[in-house]
Amino acid sequence: MDVKEMVQDIDSLEIQLLEKKLALVVERAYQQGVEDGQSKYKYPELLKQEDLVEILQAELPTVRKLVARRDFPKFEHTRARYPRDAVFEWIKRNSTDYGTNLLRFKTN
């Protein structure tokens, strides 16, 4: 086997390795998307404060403070209801994940 063939073999192996790594990344991203979708869509489209307690893993007084913020999404036509998708977007924009399911919300 000459050097040229060895280089071609190495290149071929590198391509195979890259393909396997890419497939693994795609699989992990897919699984994360499924998990995220399952956790988000298990809640009704309009949330109650009790739902927010569970989602935010916070006590009711803390939830009441958050929903009192002007920028917290509210459903205009019914009191004490919060649009699920907007709430999850608000959480993404206004929190920092500390890696242990602990969210810290930005102040106004």
Q: Is residue 99 predicted with pLDDT exceeding 60? A: no
Measured CA to CA, the distance from residue 108 to residue 53 in angstroms comes to: 21
Measured CA to CA, the distance from residue 28 to residue 34 in angstroms comes to: 10
pLDDT at 107: 60
pLDDT at 49: 96
Residue 104 makes CB contacts below 8 A (sequence gap 6+) with 95, 96, 98
pLDDT at 104: 63
pLDDT confidence band for 102 (50 / 70 / 90): low
Measured CA to CA, the distance from residue 91 to residue 46 in angstroms comes to: 16
Residue type (1 letter), 94: N
| Residue percentage of the chain with pLDDT more than 90 | 54
Question: Which residue reads 């919060």 in tokens?
Answer: 82
pLDDT in tens, 19-40: 999 888 888 888 887 777 767 7
pLDDT at 42: 87
- Domain positions in the chain: 1-42, 46-105
Measured CA to CA, the distance from residue 91 to residue 36 in angstroms comes to: 14
